[in-house]
Amino acid sequence: MKKNMITGMAFLIAMTALAGCGNVTETETTEETSAADGNQEISVSSGGNLTIPVDELTENAVFYPANVDGTEMEVIAVKTSDGTIRTAFNTCQICYDSGNGYYKQEDDKLVCQNCGNSFTMDQVGETAGGCNPWPILESDWILADGKIQISYDFLKDSADIFANWKGAYQS
């Protein structure tokens, strides 16, 4: 608890310094983390969210690496051809335990680096079971202020699927 208070205070001090004044608004103190380029690992801590700006999404997959209490994981986000937002963990529902069951985009498809199965962007996050990206359903995240917010608790509850993961951004 004391460590969380110290971390929170350090965050507030840093935000105040960056803002150049002593007035810290509530939005500055919320714990949201986002990677604008989709390649920088993001630490998500208790009470925080992995935040994905919707305006970054296109029909090409964007990969969001995250670290949740020492577990490295990655989320895929994409806007499909009909404009639907789809999200999934970057791990295969069958191959995840191999450590190599992660996806890379090749042309307009995602390809599992373990089994070679491929999927269109329209299939991301849609199919549960089988050799598919592990879905993060729309009910698993919140859309607010043009941002997808995936909670620390949801990410933490999913950490076991990344126990052996050797994902793309770790290479």
Q: Note the pLDDT tens digit of each residue in 43-84.
A: 898 989 999 999 999 999 999 999 999 999 999 999 998 999
CA distance 15 to 9: 10
The band of 26, judged by pLDDT with boundaries at 50, 70 and 90, is very low
Q: Which pLDDT score is estimated for 126?
A: 80
The pTM of the full predicted model, rounded to 2 decimals, is 0.74
pLDDT mean across residues, the chain: 77
Per-residue burial over 69-78, b = 16 or more CB atoms within 10 Å of its CB, e = otherwise: eebbbbbbbb
The more confidently predicted of residues 4 and 27 is 4
Q: Which pLDDT score is estimated for 132?
A: 82
* Phi and psi at residue 68, to the nearest 5°: -120, 105
How many of the other CB atoms lie within 10 Å of CB of 157?
11
Q: Which pLDDT score is estimated for 68?
A: 94
Looking at the predicted structure, is the pLDDT value of residue 34 above 80? no
The band of 127, judged by pLDDT with boundaries at 50, 70 and 90, is confident
The band of 5, judged by pLDDT with boundaries at 50, 70 and 90, is very low
Which of 42-56, 104-118, 119-133, 146-160 has the weakest average pLDDT? 119-133
Our CA angle for 75, 52, 62, nearest 5°, is 50
